[in-house]
């Protein structure tokens, strides 16, 4: 059993950490306050190769492993997890399914740009009335000659509006339930494809979330990902990978909250001594640190399993569920340690607490994760 990162993984980790602390940290509080998505930063991530860490060189990638990619999300998220999820959404939810299920022509046309980061990707599955219950998709795709015509809408789509490439799920045969769902690659400027309002969220304000609206959108037949009816399978396997990404985001948040809390409790003096010397604070920090480490081990294992080509669906669900739950707990505790200061926007922990909440919700709520895990346990 190997608990040490490889030389290469350590170097990628350091490289992303430097990028995050030098470039991403600049103006972060303002971007969060004014809900600014920075295309400049995503372009820079592309130039630095962050979008292509775990893809083969023939598609412009760096031929690294999944764990290196997960380390990158973790490091980014320690500083700005909104950017972390932007990366995860483009790589795990858009580039990966094209890599895994796309044909050569699709890979050439779409994957290369996503991997090199000249284009951004997004993933549209959730609908107003089909969240966890993905089978009640109301977006439909009807074959007309050499193209499908899409009608319907998708909500809460990360990277929407900014992304150039979308993986969109739609019913091609309602009678078949989940087996009637198909996946399509839809380009941003396709006629009839528009965006709804920008969501104003509790947190992750440096990421962008919008509704996708499809009105008689003609998508060429060759843009179907996989075969007709493969959509649900593609969505579920894509989400398995995406969950490790969200877990890494949660881990980054939790680690950052812990780091801030440790530093602050050593600096903040009350009754003539740093508050850290109080056992009440020390024990809180001990619990926080243990949770963060446990989450890290679950996440790295899930990434490792994926690297090994072994099944990882249950482990990814465990990692996502646990990491996001403890991210919520740890950030709440961090705010508590900061006291009144922690509740203000002068300090970063309130942002971390707001941001942590979403990780318990998206990529499948933690209730869904428990369904996945219990399903596997009871099999």
Partner 1 sequence: MDIIVCIKQVPDTTEVKIDPVTNTLIRQGVPSIVNPFDKNALEAALQLKEQHGGKVTVLSMGPPQAKDALKECLAMGADEAVLMSDRAFGGADTLATSRTLAAGIRKLGHYDLLICGKQAIDGDTAQVGPEIAEALDIPQVTYAAKLEISGDSKVRIEREHEEGYEVVETTLPLMVTVVKSINEPRLPTVKGTMKANRKEIPMLTAADIDVDLDSIGLKGSPTQVHRIFTPKQRVQGQLIQADSPREAVAQLMNKLAEAKLI
| Catalytic center residues | 363
- Stretch touching partner 1 by CB under 8 A, among 42-50, 142-150, 178-186, 239-247: 42-50
Are residues 225 and 167 in contact, defined by beta-carbon separation less than 8 angstroms? yes
**Backbone phi, psi, residue 361, to 5°:** -105, -50
Measured distance CA(201)–CA(179) in Å, rounded: 33
Least distance between partner 1 and beta carbon 53 (Å): 5
- Residue 199 CB neighbours (<10 A): 15
Question: Which residue from 28, 49, 121, 125 is in contact with partner 1, where contact means CB under 8 A?
Answer: 49
- Candidates 60-68, 94-102, 163-171, 350-358; binding stretch for partner 1 (CB under 8 A): 60-68
Touching partner 1, residues 62-81 (CB under 8 A): 62-64, 68, 72
Separation CA 347–CA 338 (nearest Å): 9
Tell me how far the alpha carbon of residue 134 is from its chain's centroid: 19
Interface with partner 1 (CB under 8 A), residue total: 21
Measured CA to CA, the distance from residue 361 to residue 369 in angstroms comes to 10
- The CB-of-15 to partner 1 minimum distance in angstroms stands at 5
Name every residue whose Cβ is closer than 8 Å to that of residue 3 and which is 6 or more positions away in sequence.
none
Alpha-carbon span 306 to 275, nearest angstrom = 42
* Residue 273 engages partner 1 in binding (rule: CB under 8 A): no
Among 31, 32, 38, 52, binds partner 1 (CB under 8 A): 52
According to CB under 8 A, which one of 7, 133, 146, 189 is a site residue for partner 1?
7
Tell me: does residue 11 bind partner 1 (CB under 8 A). Answer: yes
* CB contact at 8 A, 349 and 340: no
259 near partner 1, judged by CB under 8 A: no
If binding is defined by CB under 8 A, does position 59 make contact with partner 1? Answer: no
Distance (Å, rounded) from C-alpha 70 to C-alpha 75? 9
Tokens of 317: 């669900």
Interacting span for partner 1 (CB under 8 A) from 5-13, 125-133, 167-175, 210-218: 5-13
- Whichever of 33 and 267 has its CB closer to partner 1, that residue is 267
In the complex, the smallest distance separating the C-beta of residue 17 from partner 1, rounded to whole angstroms, is 10
Nearer residue to partner 1 within complex by CB, 201 or 268: 268
Stated length of the chain? 379
46 vs 102, beta carbon nearer partner 1: 46
Alpha carbon dihedral 104, 108, 110, 114, in 10-degree steps, equals: 120
Sign of CA dihedral 93, 95, 101, 105: positive
Of residues 153 through 212, those in contact with partner 1 by CB under 8 A are: none
| Residue 40 interacts with partner 1 (CB under 8 A): yes or no | no
Nearest CB to partner 1, comparing residues 19 and 184: 19
Nearer to partner 1, 69 or 110 (CB): 69
Task: Specify burial of residue 287 (Cβ count, 10 A radius: 0-12, 13-18, 19+).
Answer: middle
Residue 297 to residue 66: CA distance in whole angstroms = 15
Supply the minimum distance, in Å, between the C-beta of residue 7 and partner 1. Answer: 6
Check binding of 53 to partner 1 (CB under 8 A): yes
Measured from the CB of residue 290, what is the shortest distance to partner 1 in angstroms? 20
Q: Which stretch binds partner 1 (CB under 8 A): 19-27, 91-99, 170-178, 200-208?
A: 19-27
Place of tokens 């690297």: 307
* Least Å from the CB of residue 13 to partner 1: 10
Closer CB to partner 1, 18 or 30, in the complex = 18
Residue environment code for 141-171, b if the CB has 16+ CB neighbours within 10 A, otherwise e: beeeeebbbbbbbbbbbbbbbbbbbbbbbbb
Our finding on whether 58 is near partner 1 (CB under 8 A) is no
What residue ranges bind partner 1 (CB under 8 A)? Answer: 7-8, 11-12, 14-15, 18-19, 22-23, 47-50, 52-53, 62-64, 68, 72
């Amino acid at each position: 059993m190997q608990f040490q990162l490889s030389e290469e993984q350590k170097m990628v980790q350091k490289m992303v950490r430097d990028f995050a602390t030098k470039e991403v940290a600049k103006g972060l509080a303002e971007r969060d306050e004014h809900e600014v998505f920075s295309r400049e930063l995503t372009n820079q991530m592309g130039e630095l190769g962050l979008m292509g860490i775990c893809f083969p060189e023939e598609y412009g990638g760096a031929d690294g492993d999944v764990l290196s990619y997960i380390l990158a999300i973790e490091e980014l998220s320690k500083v700005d997890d909104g950017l972390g999820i932007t990366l995860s959404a483009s790589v795990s939810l858009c580039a990966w399914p094209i890599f895994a299920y796309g044909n050569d022509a699709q890979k050439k046309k779409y994957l290369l740009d996503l991997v090199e980061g000249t284009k951004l990707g997004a993933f549209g599955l959730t609908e107003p009335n089909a969240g966890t219950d993905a089978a009640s998709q109301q977006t439909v795709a009807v074959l007309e000659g050499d193209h499908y015509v899409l009608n319907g809408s998708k909500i809460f789509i990360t990277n929407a509006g900014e992304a150039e490439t979308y993986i969109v799920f739609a019913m091609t045969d309602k009678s078949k339930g989940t087996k009637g769902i198909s996946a399509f690659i839809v380009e941003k400027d396709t006629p009839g494809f528009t965006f709804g309002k920008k969501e104003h969220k509790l947190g992750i304000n440096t990421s962008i979330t919008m509704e996708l609206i499809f009105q008689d959108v003609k998508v060429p037949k060759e843009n179907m990902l996989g075969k007709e009816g493969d959509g649900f399978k593609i969505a579920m396997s894509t989400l398995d990978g995406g969950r490790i990404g969200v877990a890494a985001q949660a881990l980054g948040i939790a680690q950052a909250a812990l780091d801030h809390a440790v530093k602050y409790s050593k600096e903040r003096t009350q009754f003539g001594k740093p508050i850290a010397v109080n056992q009440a604070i020390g024990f809180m920090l001990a619990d926080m640190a243990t949770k963060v480490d446990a989450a890290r081990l679950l996440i790295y294992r899930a990434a490792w399993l994926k690297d090994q080509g072994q099944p990882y669906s249950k482990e990814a669900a465990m990692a996502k569920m646990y990491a996001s739950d403890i991210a919520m707990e740890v950030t709440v505790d961090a705010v508590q340690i900061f006291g009144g200061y922690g509740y203000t926007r002068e300090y970063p922990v309130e942002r971390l607490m707001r941001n942590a909440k979403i990780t318990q919700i998206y990529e499948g709520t933690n209730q869904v994760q428990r369904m996945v895990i219990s399903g596997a346990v009871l099999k």
